[in-house]
Amino acid sequence: MAQVLDPGSIVVADWHRSADSKEFFSRILHKKKRRNFGLLEAPVMPPSVSVDTVHYKIFISGKNGVGKTALAARLAGFNIPNMHYETTGIETTVVYWPVKLRESGRVLFFRLQLWDCGENALRRFDHLLPSCKEQLDAILFLFSFTDRASFDDLSNQIARGSEPCDRVVKLVVGTKFDLFMHTDVTEREVTRFQEVWGLPVFRMGGDVNNVSNLGEVAPLLNCLAEHLWHQDCVAARSTILPVATQSEAATVVHV
Q: What are the residue ranges spanned by the domains of the chain?
A: 15-222
Tens-place pLDDT, residues 137-184: 999 999 999 999 999 999 998 887 766 666 899 999 999 888 767 788
pLDDT band at 79 (very low <50, low <70, confident <90, very high): confident
Q: What percent of the chain has pLDDT over 70?
A: 85
- What is this structure's pTM? 0.86
* Residue 95 confidence (pLDDT): 96
Residue 217 neighbours by CB distance under 10 Å = 22
Lowest mean pLDDT among 15-24, 101-110, 127-136, 220-229: 127-136
Percent of the chain with pLDDT over 90: 53
Question: Which positions ≥6 away from 55 have C-beta within 8 Å?
Answer: 111, 113
| Fold observed for domain 15-222 | Rossmann fold (3.40.50)
Q: Give the range among 30-34, 73-77, 94-98, 251-255 with minimum mean pLDDT.
A: 251-255
What is the pLDDT at residue 28? 94
